[in-house]
Amino acid sequence: MSELLDELKREHALMLDILDDVKRLGLSSRAGQEKFLSAKALLLSHMQKEDREFYPGLRKAAESSEDLKRTLDYFAGDMEVVSRKAKQVFDKHSSEAAGTEPSDVTLLYMILRDRIRAEEQVLFKRFERLDRLPDRKAP
């Protein structure tokens, strides 16, 4: 597996671990708020990395694969929904004055967990196949 996929998987696991910590600590605690803000920063940087290093190779390959194009279109639409929901939760709870609703963190955790699972099971496997092609340069 490529170093990029290993790195993305580590970030996925870290993101979920941080959100687990937030659920345990609570958003009303300073430590919970700090963890919550670090989850937001990690998610944003992770998405930028995927846009910069992961998706371009898949998009290029999709130019000659209708199946991959449909798959990427589906994941792009799903990402819009995930991003919108994540933004709502982060915006709502990004200040110490925000009300505490543990269910929001649980919802965010579940949304990200499901997206991560699908991404790793479908897109990472497609990326690995591309990475093994003889004329393909590693991203």
Residue 48 lies in a domain: yes
Please determine, for residue 98, whether its predicted confidence score (pLDDT) is greater than 80.
Answer: no
pLDDT tens digit string along 32-47?
Answer: 999 999 999 999 999 9
* Residue 95's pLDDT band (cuts 50, 70, 90): low
Domain span at residue 81?
3-132
Please determine, for residue 133, whether its predicted confidence score (pLDDT) is greater than 70.
Answer: no
Please give the tally of structural domains in the chain.
1
Residue 137 lies in a domain: no
pLDDT reported for residue 127: 94
> d(Cα 119, Cα 31) in Å, to the nearest integer?
30
With a CB cutoff of 8 Å and minimum separation 6, the contacts of 75 are: 118, 119, 122, 123
